[in-house]
């Protein structure tokens, strides 16, 4: 197995890690209740997907229903 010849400096390690941040998720708004939801997933607040109810949410969301 290949072994690195030199230890990477703090600066090299930190500059490499500067690009490793996790990005924000791409959120879209629910067509029914307008809350932010992940796309291609059932809305966790109202249980809607593709303009119809597919499940009842387990916990009542503290978001106001509008
Ligand atoms: Zn919804």
pLDDT above 70: residue 59 = no
User: Would the CA dihedral through 42, 43, 49, 55 be positive or negative?
Assistant: positive
Q: How far is the CA of 8 from the centre of ligand 1 (A)?
A: 49
Greater confidence (3 vs 61) lies with 3
Predicted local confidence at residue 55, as pLDDT: 75
Predicted local confidence at residue 19, as pLDDT: 94
pLDDT above 60: residue 66 = no
Q: How far is the CA of 42 from the centre of ligand 1 (A)?
A: 8
Phi, psi angles (nearest 5°) of residue 65: -80, 115
Spatial contact of 28 and 36, defined as CB atoms under 8 Å apart: yes
Question: What pLDDT, in 10s, does the model give residues 2-52?
Answer: 999 999 999 999 999 999 999 988 888 888 888 888 888 888 888 888 877
Strand partners, 27: 38
């Amino acid at each position: 197995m290949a072994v690195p010849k030199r230890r990477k400096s703090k600066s090299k390690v930190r500059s490499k890690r500067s690009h490793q941040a996790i990005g924000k998720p791409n959120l879209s708004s629910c067509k029914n209740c307008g809350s932010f939801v992940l796309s291609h997933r059932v809305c966790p607040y109202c249980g809607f997907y593709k303009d119809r109810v597919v499940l009842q949410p387990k916990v009542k969301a503290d978001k106001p229903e509008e």
